[in-house]
Chain A
Amino acid sequence: MSPRSNISARFDTAPDPLDGRVPPGPIDSKWTDHKFDMRLVNPANKRKFEIIVVGSGLAGASAAASLGELGYKVTLLTFHDSPRRAHSIAAQGGINAAKNYKNDGDSVHRLFYDTVKGGDYRSREANVHRLAEVSVDIIDQCAAQGVPFAREYGGLLDNRSFGGAQVSRTFYARGQTGQQLLLGAYSALMRQVHLGSVKLYRRTEMLELVLHDGRATGVVARDLVTGEIRSFSGHAVVLATGGYGNVFYLSTNAKASNASATWRAHRKGALFANPCFTQIHPTCIPASDEFQSKLTLMSESLRNDGRVWVPKELDDTRTADLVPESERDYFLERRYPAFGNLVPRDVASRAIKREVDAGRGVGPIKNGVYLDFAESIERLGPKAVEERYSNLFEMYERITDENPQNTPMRIYPAVHYTMGGLWVDYDLMSNLPGLFVLGEANFSDHGANRLGASALMQGLADGYFVLPYTIGNYLAPLLGAAPVSTDDTVFAEAESTVRDEIKRYLSTNGTHSVDWFHRELGKIVWDNCGMARSTETLEKALTEIPPLREQFHNDVKVLGDNESMNQSLEKAGRVSDFLEFGELMCLDALHREESCGGHFRVEHQTEDGEALRDDENFAYAGAWEFNGVGAPPTLHKEPLEFENVHLAQRSYK
Chain B
Amino acid sequence: MHLKLRVWRQAGPTATGAFESYDMPEVSAEMSFLELIDELNEKLIEANKEPVAFDHDCREGICGSCSMMINGQAHGPSRGTATCQLFLRKFVDGSEITVEPWRAGAFPVIRDLSTDRTALDHIIESGGFISAPTGSAPDANLILVPKEVADAAMDAAACIGCGACVAACPNSAAQLFTAAKVAHLNLLPQGQPERWNRVQNMVDTMESYFGSCTNHGECEKACPKEISIDFIALLNKDYLKAQWKNRKLESQRG
Binding site for B on A (CB under 8 A): 62, 65-66, 69, 80-85, 87, 89-90, 99, 101, 137, 139-146, 148-157, 173-174, 176, 179-180, 183, 186-188, 190-191, 193-194, 202, 225, 254-256, 288-289, 291-294, 296, 395, 398-399, 401, 464-465, 468, 513, 515-516, 557, 559-560, 564-568
Contacts and interface: CB of A to CB of B under 8 A. Distances in A.
B197 interface: no
B57 A254 contact: yes
A513 B64 CA distance: 26
A403 to B, nearest CB: 15
A194 B125 contact: yes
Contact of A155 (B53, B144, B160): B144
Given A151-B147, A187-B130, A144 B57 contact: no
Contacts of B184: 146, 148
A201 B102 CA distance: 22
Contact of A255 (B48, B57, B117, B141): B57
A637 to B, nearest CB: 35
B81 A398 contact: yes
A85 B57 contact: yes
B239 to A, nearest CB: 19
Interface stretch (B30-38, B93-101, B215-223, B241-249): B30-38
A510 to B, nearest CB: 11
Interface in B95-151: 110-111, 114, 116-118, 120-121, 124-126, 128-141, 143-147, 150-151
Q: Which 7 pairs from chain A and chain B are nearest by CB? A: A155-B144, A144-B137, A187-B129, A143-B140, A144-B132, A140-B137, A148-B154
Contacts of B137: 137, 140-141, 143-144
Contact of A81 (B55, B133, B138): B55
Contacts of A395: 60-61, 85
A557 B132 contact: no
20 contacts: A62-B134, A84-B121, A85-B65, A89-B62, A137-B137, A144-B132, A153-B146, A153-B147, A155-B144, A156-B141, A157-B140, A179-B160, A188-B132, A194-B125, A254-B57, A293-B38, A395-B60, A515-B42, A559-B51, A565-B53
Contact of B154 (A174, A186, A296): A174
A293 B35 contact: yes
A190 B129 contact: yes
Contacts of A566: 53
A186 B129 CA distance: 9
B29 to A, nearest CB: 10
Most chain-B Cβ atoms within 10 A of its Cβ — which of A90, A291, A464?
A291
A255 B66 CA distance: 12
Interface string B63-88: 11100000000000000010001010
Interface residues of B, number: 77
A292 B30 CA distance: 9
B26 to A, nearest CB: 11
Contacts of A85: 57, 63-65
B49 interface: yes
A89 B58 contact: yes
Nearest to A557: B45
A257 to B, nearest CB: 8
Given A254-B58, A464-B134, A187 B154 contact: no
Contact of B114 (A293, A565, A568): A565
Contact of B59 (A143, A294, A464): A294
A566 B146 CA distance: 49
A145 B190 contact: yes
Contacts of B139: 140
B37 to A, nearest CB: 10
B6 interface: no
B59 A140 contact: no
Nearest to A183: B157
B5 interface: no
Nearest to B45: A513
B50 interface: yes
A331 to B, nearest CB: 28
Contacts of A82: 64, 117-118, 120-121, 161
Contacts of A465: 134-135
A89 B188 contact: no
A191 B125 contact: yes
A334 B58 CA distance: 36
B212 interface: no
B131 to A, nearest CB: 7
B32 A69 contact: no
Contacts of B59: 254-255, 293-294, 296
Contacts of B234: none
B134 A468 contact: yes
Contact of B157 (A62, A180, A255, A560): A180
Contacts of A149: 140, 150
